[in-house]
Amino acid sequence: VYKRQLFLWVFGDNVEARLGSIRYIFFYLFCGIAADLMHAVFSGFSKVPVVGASGAISGVLGAYYVLFPGAMVKTLVPYGIFFGTVEIPAVAFIGIWFIYQLVYGLLSFATKCGVAFWAHVGGFIAGYLIARAIRPRGFRGPRVVRFIIRA
């Protein structure tokens, strides 16, 4: 539960700022519906109920992937028994996360799992496609972020 809230806190406010509050609400709800539909297609006969907003949050990640390609994410990394932070490109962080969801979604066909991985995949794809459709031509992310990466 806390991981989803953290993802929404880190990525959601930027996507909301880009879309505007009203468009963001409709975007978020649409991604949640798309996530549920994808889950129903791939897990339609499951007797496990789907509860939560992780599919809609995945849509936010898909939009962030498109709208902020040059952004960096500060990530906590273990160094033995200690922890440190390192900045990695957001597209790498989100890309690895998406591949993880896709692989575990495929593995869920062979095992019984209580996680709606296909809802995550569906929400991400919906968010990605919507962001691609609304992104202005030539948009490459915030200027400040691009400047920091070049330096």
Residue 78 to residue 89: CA distance in whole angstroms:
18
Are 14 and 64 spatial neighbours (Cβ–Cβ below 8 Å)? yes
Q: Which residue has the tokens 């991981």?
A: 3
Are 65 and 92 spatial neighbours (Cβ–Cβ below 8 Å)? no
Q: pTM higher than 0.85 for the full model? A: no
Residue 110 to residue 123: CA distance in whole angstroms:
22
* pLDDT tens string 12-59: 999 999 999 999 999 999 999 999 899 888 876 677 677 778 899 999
Instruction: Find, among 109, 91, 103, the residue nearest to 145 by Cα.
Output: 91
pLDDT score, position 3: 66
Helix, strand, coil tally for the chain in percent (to 5): 65, 10, 25
- The contacts found for 88-95 with CB under 8 angstroms, 24 or more apart, are 90/11, 90/64, 90/65, 91/65, 94/61, 94/62, 94/64, 94/65, 95/65
pLDDT score, position 141: 54
* pLDDT tens string 137-147: 655 555 444 44
